[in-house]
Amino acid sequence: MECEICHENPATLHLTNYINGQKTELHVCQKCAMEKGYIEPKDDAYTIHDLLSGLFNFNSNLSNQPGINKSNQNELTCPHCKMTYHQFAKVGKFGCAHCYKTFEDHLNPIFRKVHSGNTEHTGKIPKRQHVHLQQKRLIQDYRNRLKTLIDEENFEEAAKLRDRIKALESGESSSDSNEEE
């Protein structure tokens, strides 16, 4: 089927209109549909890279901030991989795990933009390396549940849960003493 407007391209869009209960059909190509305003032109493909480079540019334009200015001799530099903040802003990638600490003060706005306002991890925790953290997370979960139970005036269950939290906390303090950090 050819386009009913230009009679050149194949009709790829099939539009149905109802006017006063009268059904009309239109078979047109993408180009004509766009020209006639039947469909919205698609936005240019947005890539995460565009977003990021825009972000970093915004940040590095604030070059009056200490540690960001390119010409600054004391530019913020990761002691482990030698990546500077300027390089980080340019490539949009961290050089090593320690960069996260080095550039810590500048990261929240970036993470907020990229991750819809989020800045802190709430997911999986390594099992072997971070046992104490898992426990901490568990206690936090229990505390939240305790609150709900109390709100619901379910005191019997709440008392049980409180005892479990206490037991966990006394266990945690012993593992805290050999924390790696």
- Report the alpha-carbon distance of residue 153 to residue 171 in Å, rounded: 28
Helix ranges restricted to H, the chain: 30-35, 48-61, 85-91, 99-102, 104-114, 131-151, 155-176
* Residue of the chain from 7, 93, 147, 164 that contacts another protein (CB under 8 A): 93
Q: Which listed range, 67-75, 81-89, 149-157, 170-178, lies at the site for another protein (CB under 8 A)?
A: 81-89
- Report the alpha-carbon distance of residue 93 to residue 105 in Å, rounded: 16
Q: Is 110 in the site for another protein (CB under 8 A)?
A: yes
Contact yes or no for 132/172 (Cβ under 8 A): yes
- Report the alpha-carbon distance of residue 102 to residue 171 in Å, rounded: 33
Q: Is 124 in the site for another protein (CB under 8 A)?
A: yes
Contact yes or no for 85/63 (Cβ under 8 A): no
Total interface residues for another protein by CB under 8 A: 42
* Residue of the chain from 24, 73, 117, 151 that contacts another protein (CB under 8 A): 117
Q: Which listed range, 105-113, 143-151, 159-167, 168-176, lies at the site for another protein (CB under 8 A)?
A: 105-113
The contact set with another protein (CB under 8 A) reads: 1, 13-14, 39, 42, 45, 47-48, 52, 80-83, 91-97, 100, 107, 110-111, 114-130, 133
